[in-house]
Every structure is written in structure tokens, then in C-alpha cells.
Amino acid sequence: METSNNAEFIYQYTSNVYEEVKKSIDIITDKLTKVLAFSGILLKFGYDMDSTGFLFSAKLLILTLLTITIGLCATGLWPKDSGRAGLTPEYLIEEHYGLDPESMRLMVSRARVEGISELRKLHRYRESILNYAIGCLAFCGLVFGMTGIISSIH
């Protein structure tokens, strides 16, 4: 009887971790989408900037940074394998129908552990892309702000 409780605990725990990692990926994906949209809007403002004198270099830098940010976001949003558990419902029905519940839970849990590992790789990848994109966007904002200050002084 104690083994069944362990199998149920393992099953619930791995299912919760799997869902938490998937949710975290969804949050990062949402942020990437927002940075992409914001960068696209800023690209229009950067394009409309005055480009006389020193402002030409600033405009070129801003447009380059925004283009890099858009490229990073698009790369981060590009579909990748999401670490699905390798057990399909068809496989379970055809190959393991009638298996005792404890063994079934442990089999599904093992598959989920592999899926969690793959999802974490995807999470780290998208998170690093998001960090680079935000860095480019922040630097772009600084250049844009400094350009506004300098052009106001002159």
C-alpha cells in the first residue's frame, strides 16, 4: 500500500513541475512578444528621427539596435521542440492497457521527467534571448534619450 502512495506522490509532483515549467515558458514567450511589438513601434520613431549632423550616427545606432532586438525576439519565438512527454495516448492504449495503476503512474512520471529536462532547456534558451533583447532595447533607449538631450541643448 505504501508503494502506491509513493507512485501517486511521484506522479503528482512530476506533473506539477512539468506544468510550472510550461507556464514559465509561456510567460517568457509573452514577454518576448511584447518586446517585439514595442521594438517595432520604436523602429518607426527611430526612422522618423532627424538625421543631420551628429544625429545621423545616433539614428543609425538606434535603428541597428532595434533591428537586432527584433531579430532576437523573432529567434526566441521561433518554434522549437517543447519537451513533450514521449507517451502518446495511442501508445498507452495499445501497449499498456490493463497495466496496474501504480506501474502506469511511474511510467508516465518517467516520461515527464524527460519532458521536464527538455522544457528547461527551452526555458533557458528563451530566457537568454529575452535578456539580450531587453539589453539592446535598454541601450537603444539610452541612446535615444541622450540624442534628445543633446539636440535640445544645441
**What is the mean pLDDT for each group of 10 consecutive residues in the chain (154 residues)?**
68 90 94 95 88 87 94 92 64 70 82 87 95 95 89 80
Taking the C-alpha atoms of residue 145 and residue 148, their distance in angstroms, rounded to an integer, is 5
Looking from the CA of 9 toward its CB, the CA atoms found within 13 Å total 6
pLDDT for 92: 67
Q: How do the domains of the chain map onto residue ranges?
A: 2-153
Burial of 77 (0-12, 13-18, 19+ CB in 10 A): middle
pLDDT of residue 88: 67
pLDDT at 2: 47
Q: What angle do CA 153, 41, 30 make, to 5 degrees?
A: 125
